Structure 1
Amino acid sequence: MEAYNFETTIKPFFWVASEKTYSVCLNAGTYKPDIFDWRKDEGFEGNGYDWASLAKVFVSEKKTHLSNDIKFDPEADMFCAYSTNPESLKEFVLDFKKACEDEILIQDLFLKAELD
C-alpha cells in the first residue's frame, strides 16, 4: 500500500510553512476553471479573490469550527489561506479539495459566494 502523502493529496494546492504561520496556496486559473465559468457573467473570473469567496462559503457552511483559525489573503493570481494552527489548515485544505472534486457540492457552495 502506498504511503499517504499530504502534499500530493492536496495538489494543485501547495503547503507553505514559515516560523509562526502556515499557508496553503493555489495559483489561480490552474484548477477547476469550470467552477467559475457558469457565473462569469456576474464577474467571476476564477482569480484568487473568487477562490477566497468560495472558500469562505465552504468554511461557513461545512467547517464552522475552523472559522476562527483560518484566514484568507488572496491576490489576483493566487488564492491563499493561512493559520497559526497547522492541523486546522490541513483539515481545511483536505476537505476543501474534496469539495472541489464534488461537482454538485461545489456548485451549491458557489451559488452562495459573493464577488469580492
Structure 2
Amino acid sequence: MHIAEQIKPFVWVEHDSGSTSVILNVGTYKADVFQTRADEGFEGNGYDWGSLASVYLQEQLPHLVDIVRFDPEGSMFCAYSGDREALQRFAIGFKEACEDDAVIRDLFSRAELD
C-alpha cells in the first residue's frame, strides 16, 4: 500500500527540494478527541494537532525528535523532514495512533496548549 493511502486523511507531499511533508486540513478528523478538552482551550486547530503530534513523537519515536519538525497553522497541521523515511515512520505510526481511540486519548491527555 502506498504511503498516501496508509495515512489518509493526512496528505503526503513531496517537494522539489527533496524534502517531504505531511499535512492535514483540520476541523473534522478526530474532532471528538479535541472536544474532550475544549474547556481548557483546545479547538482541534493546527496548533493543537502539533501539540498532540509532539507528544506522540517524544514518547513513541524519541530518536526522530530532531529529524521530524512541525509547522502548524490555524487551519492546517504540517510535519516535515528532509529525511523521507523518518517522516514516513512518523506519519504511519501517528495515523495508527489516531485510529486507536484509547491510544490517541491517552497521548492527548499530555498535550499542552500552544
TM-score by length of 1: 0.95
Distance in 1, Cα, partners of 2:75 & 2:82: 23
What 5-or-longer segments of structure 2 have no aligned partner? none
The aligned counterpart of 1:50 is 48
- 2:4 alignment partner, SS class: helix
Q: Which runs of 4+ in 1 moved over 4 A?
A: none
The aligned counterpart of 2:66 is 68
The answer (yes or no) to whether the contact 2:55–2:107 under 8 Å persists in 1 is: yes
- 1:57 alignment partner, SS class: helix
Structure 1 residue 44 displacement after superposition: 0.3
Matches within 5 A, 1:16-55: 16-18=13-15, 19-55=17-53
RMSD: 0.7
Matches within 5 A, 1:68-87: 68-87=66-85
Name the count of aligned residue pairs. 113
The aligned counterpart of 2:11 is 14
Cα displacement string for residues 5-46 of structure 1 (whole angstroms, at most 9, x for unaligned residues): 221111000011111321000001131111101000000000
Q: Which moved more, 1:4-13 or 1:85-94?
A: 4-13
Distance in 2, Cα, partners of 1:73 & 1:53: 11
Distance in 2, Cα, partners of 1:5 & 1:17: 13
Distance in 2, Cα, partners of 1:84 & 1:6: 16
TM-score by length of 2: 0.96
The answer (yes or no) to whether the contact 2:98–2:104 under 8 Å persists in 1 is: yes
What 5-or-longer segments of structure 1 have no aligned partner? none
